Amino acid sequence: MIGAEVQRAFFAALDGATDAGANVFDQVPPSNPFPRITIGDEQLLDDGNTCQDGWEVFSDVHCWSRPDNGSKVEVKTLAGQVVDAVRAITTISGFSLVSIEHQTTRVFRDPDGLTEHAVVSFRALIDPA
């Protein structure tokens, strides 16, 4: 089973690779820094057959910004950097990465009226190593 290996690969690809710098989290610390990235929900589907195991993994990455001027430019830039960084993943420890692709990006203002938010979704196909 895959476990947390996809999340680890995402973290390794994103840490320091975007304008969020090292602000890449699973759980945001009390200091609550902006801009930041959180590695979000994941859905794992069995994609095996009678000959071989395999998995289809859907993963969300959240980008957060709180600009003084209320613009979505920073969060959209961050989301684009996330797409580039995740597309560059070539390995997932213990598995064979068949493909990873960007599915969707949604950008919106959070209900607090201050925070810009992007949800970037990916699909990966993974086989046993």
pLDDT in tens, 63-97: 999 999 989 999 999 999 999 999 999 999 999 99
User: What is the pLDDT, as a whole number, of residue 50?
Assistant: 64
Identity of residue 45: L
Q: How many Å apart are CA 116 and CA 74, to the nearest integer? A: 8
Average pLDDT, the chain: 94
CB 129 within 8 A of CB 53: no
HEC string of 84-127 equals HHHHCCCCECCEEEEEEEEEEEEEEECCCCCCEEEEEEEEEEEE
- Domains of the chain, by residue range, sit at 5-128
Angle at Cα 72 formed by Cα 62 and Cα 8, nearest 5°? 20
Confidence tier at 3 by pLDDT (50, 70, 90): confident
User: What is the pLDDT, as a whole number, of residue 1?
Assistant: 62
At the second CATH level, the architecture of 5-128 is 2-Layer Sandwich (3.30)
